[in-house]
Amino acid sequence: MNRLEQTHWVAALFHPEKAPLTMFATEDAERFVVYQNNIIVSLIDSLVDSFPALVQLLGENYFHAVAREFVQENPPNSPVMAEYGTQLPGYLEGFLPLEMLPYLADVARLELARIACFHAADSATLSAEDFTSLSIEALLSASFVLNPSLRLVVSEHPIFKLWHSQIHDSPIPALADWRGEEVICLRRKNVVITKQLQLGGALFLKTLINGQTLEEAWKAASAKDPGFNLTEALGSLVNEQLTVSIIY
């Protein structure tokens, strides 16, 4: 099979409306249709596994219908199936039948963050004892290397509560409580922990990830939210085992 034939063959796989390739005999064409369907179904099943909250929010039948269209337009570009679906949030943002549900894309981003968190590199983290000998002045002038499994998602919608409602059967946020949320994902002993941050918390951590000092991160977060609580943020750094090392 030459390169042109390979291109047509792959295109036909993801567009069932296209006739099977004429180079197939009748019996081969029938097998091709079976193979074609198996490939699409397996990719849909992969998306179902990766986006459980999204499946619940949309309903299984509707999610399957959306996923089929997504798969046909976005064939895999990597053999690693854990990476498949990274384009789904952007696809949902442009999917007109769902334009009245803009939060779905960010729920998908949160579920992708959890997958990336699970597959991130391992690293030993600092304990509370590593912080106790430091003065507040030393801490403020220090920068930190953070846990490589750390992932952050910021949304104009209550994505943590929406995700939590579908995975842990908690109430969906009422319209009166509909406000943006910042979420952190990190892995502990092969378990992904997902928690809501205080407003400004994501910017605080992003500033530290960029190599800036604790004081600079505090100022950046406080500029976004004057009520940002540094004590709470420091507590998270220590108690959530977010730091790998301290740089003085």
The pLDDT, as a whole number, for residue 189 is: 87
SS3 label, residue 246: strand
Q: Which residue has the higher pLDDT, 28 or 215?
A: 215
Contact between residue 50 and residue 63 where contact means Cβ atoms under 8 Å apart: no
The pLDDT, as a whole number, for residue 34 is: 64
Mark whether 243 and 145 lie in a shared domain.
yes
| Neighbour-count burial of 208, counting CB atoms closer than 10 A to its CB (0-12 exposed, 13-18 middle, 19+ buried) | buried
**Residue type present at position 171:** P
Beta strand extents in 37-173 (DSSP E only):
143-146, 151-155
Mark whether 128 and 239 lie in a shared domain.
yes
pTM for this predicted structure = 0.87
Taking 70 as the threshold, does the pLDDT of residue 108 lie above it?
Answer: yes
Taking 70 as the threshold, does the pLDDT of residue 17 lie above it?
Answer: no
pLDDT digits (tens, 9 = 90+) for 186-239: 998 889 999 999 999 999 999 999 999 999 999 999 999 999 999 999 999 999
Q: What is the mean pLDDT of residues 127-144?
A: 91
Question: Over the chain, what is the mean pLDDT?
Answer: 89
Q: What is the mean pLDDT of residues 139-162?
A: 96
pLDDT digits (tens, 9 = 90+) for 44-83: 999 999 999 999 999 999 999 999 999 989 988 877 878 8
The pLDDT, as a whole number, for residue 80 is: 80
Contact between residue 141 and residue 213 where contact means Cβ atoms under 8 Å apart: yes
Mark whether 233 and 199 lie in a shared domain.
yes
Position 97 confidence tier, pLDDT thresholds 50, 70, 90:
very high
| Neighbour-count burial of 109, counting CB atoms closer than 10 A to its CB (0-12 exposed, 13-18 middle, 19+ buried) | buried
Mark whether 126 and 237 lie in a shared domain.
yes
Taking 90 as the threshold, does the pLDDT of residue 176 lie above it?
Answer: no
Residue 96 lies in a domain: yes
Residue showing tokens 């509909």: 178
Domain count across the chain: 2
Mark whether 78 and 126 lie in a shared domain.
no
Residue 109 lies in a domain: no
Mark whether 181 and 233 lie in a shared domain.
yes
- Nearest CA to 163 out of 118, 106, 119, 116 is that of 106
Find the domain containing 10 and state its range: 1-101
Residue 60 lies in a domain: yes
Residue 191 sits in a domain whose CATH number is: 3.90.930
The pLDDT, as a whole number, for residue 79 is: 77
Mark whether 227 and 148 lie in a shared domain.
yes
Q: What is d(CA 220, CA 229) in angstroms, rounded to the nearest whole number?
A: 12
Mark whether 150 and 239 lie in a shared domain.
yes
Mark whether 14 and 130 lie in a shared domain.
no
